[in-house]
């Protein structure tokens, strides 16, 4: 009962809809709405589409602009994520990200294309656009993951410039944290700003990307879900894609994004799949989830979207059509 009381109706706060013209198609998060067989004319109308975690308007607009010009979903998600990586105000992604408990900013990112290719970098210092480094890993190496110094060296060899990622504001926040906090990573429930982004291009192909500085004041060497295939991101061009934000340890333990795509494969709508993935976390026996957040976004091949989170302060940003501007989504946790 206690757990049931805790789970409450959650509404999408700060839902941002980017209005750039595209043909109208229903863009709801209603888990009860039935999936319809998609006919080619409808398929035309769902493209292009971008969905991203949090209120990342400029990132979504940038990705949408790439798609509107006929660019690929892969280019769109990379360009969109780069906006947040360069945004020094955002303290959970790229430059200005909050450091680990030793004061080092380390970044994680991954990308997946519509052919099922994947590239990732983990624990990278001094390089801002790790999403682009992840893409280079995917496209220019025989590997899928590079970590720490190896990833940094690889980035430099590809022309990326080293820079100090710790801004004055993040340094101050870290110094303040050191004064008042125990010397252990905290679960900062209000600072999950990882950007996960999924896009469908005009050809109907799906790609996704995810980039983060991880948990604020994490232990040195800690890596979360964001750069891990099936955790922070998964794309199957036949089915759809999913991405996660929040406490990466919980996402990883339930292989959240892969789970969502597999649930969609079995016939669930993106909304139903996101809800079930959250359920897998909160319904574990004795799970106390009041101190952490996990949020998912998903899209299927038909252009239906879903989003769901443990707590109400989760938002996502979608570009699809101007008619749906200001649509309000309500999320209900059914656990």
Q: Quick one: 27 or 112, whose CB is closer to ligand ASP?
A: 112
User: What is each CA distance from 168 to 164, 175, 190, 278, 304, in whole angstroms?
Assistant: 11, 10, 20, 36, 41
Binder among 83, 197, 215, 278 for ligand ASP (CB under 6 A): 215
Q: Is 126 a binder of ligand ASP (CB under 6 A)?
A: no
Q: Which of 194, 245, 254, 305 is catalytic?
A: 194
Length of the chain, please? Answer: 335
Q: Which residues contact 110 (CB under 8 A, 6 or more apart)?
A: 118, 119, 120, 121, 134, 209, 210, 226, 227, 228, 229, 232, 233
Q: Quick one: 87 or 226, whose CB is closer to ligand ASP?
A: 226
Task: Mark the segment that binds ligand ASP (CB under 6 A) among 54-62, 208-216, 262-270, 271-279.
Answer: 208-216
Q: Is 208 a binder of ligand ASP (CB under 6 A)?
A: no
Q: Is 90 a binder of ligand ASP (CB under 6 A)?
A: no
Is 194 designated active site?
yes
Site for ligand ASP in 217-236 (CB under 6 A): 224-226
CB of 280 to ligand ASP, least distance (A): 16
Binder among 212, 254, 257, 300 for ligand ASP (CB under 6 A): 212
Q: Is 134 a binder of ligand ASP (CB under 6 A)?
A: no
Q: Is 246 a binder of ligand ASP (CB under 6 A)?
A: yes
Site for ligand ASP in 167-196 (CB under 6 A): 192-194
Q: Is 214 a binder of ligand ASP (CB under 6 A)?
A: yes
Integer Rg of the chain from CA: 19
Site for ligand ASP in 265-304 (CB under 6 A): none
Count Cα atoms within 13 angstroms, Cβ side, for 54.
25
Residues that bind ligand ASP (CB under 6 A): 92, 192-194, 212, 214-215, 224-226, 245-248
**Annotated active-site positions, please?**
194
């Amino acid at each position: 009962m206690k757990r049931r009381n805790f789970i409450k109706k959650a509404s999408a706060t700060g839902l941002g809809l980017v209005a750039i013209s595209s043909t109208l198609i229903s863009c709801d998060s209603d888990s009860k709405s039935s999936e319809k067989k998609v006919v080619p004319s409808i398929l035309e109308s769902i493209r292009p589409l971008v969905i991203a975690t949090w209120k990342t308007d400029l990132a979504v607009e940038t990705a949408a602009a790439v798609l509107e010009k006929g660019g690929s979903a892969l280019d769109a998600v990379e360009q969109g994520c780069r906006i947040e990586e360069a945004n020094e105000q955002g303290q959970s992604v790229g430059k200005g990200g909050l450091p680990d408990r030793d004061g080092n900013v380390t970044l994680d990112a991954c990308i997946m294309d519509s052919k099922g290719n994947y590239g990732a970098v983990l624990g990278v210092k001094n390089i801002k656009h790790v999403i682009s480094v992840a893409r280079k890993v995917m496209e220019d190496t025989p590997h899928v993951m590079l970590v720490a110094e190896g990833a940094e060296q690889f980035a430099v060899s590809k022309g990326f410039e080293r820079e100090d990622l710790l801004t004055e504001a993040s340094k101050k926040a870290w110094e303040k944290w050191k004064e008042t906090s125990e010397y252990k990573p905290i679960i900062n429930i209000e600072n999950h700003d990882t950007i996960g982004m999924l896009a469908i291009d005009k050809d109907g192909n799906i790609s996704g990307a995810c980039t983060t500085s991880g948990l604020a004041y994490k232990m040195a060497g800690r890596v979360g879900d964001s750069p891990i295939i099936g955790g922070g991101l998964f794309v199957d061009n036949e089915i759809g894609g999913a991405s996660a934000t929040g406490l990466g340890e919980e996402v990883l333990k339930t292989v959240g994004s892969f789970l969502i795509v597999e649930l969609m494969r079995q016939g669930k709508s993106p909304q139903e799949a996101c809800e079930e993935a959250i359920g897998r976390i909160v319904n574990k026996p004795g799970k106390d989830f009041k101190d952490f957040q996990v949020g998912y976004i998903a899209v299927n091949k038909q252009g239906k979207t879903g989003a769901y989170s443990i707590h109400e302060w989760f938002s996502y940003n979608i570009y699809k059509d101007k008619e749906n501007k200001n649509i309000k989504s309500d999320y209900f946790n059914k656990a």
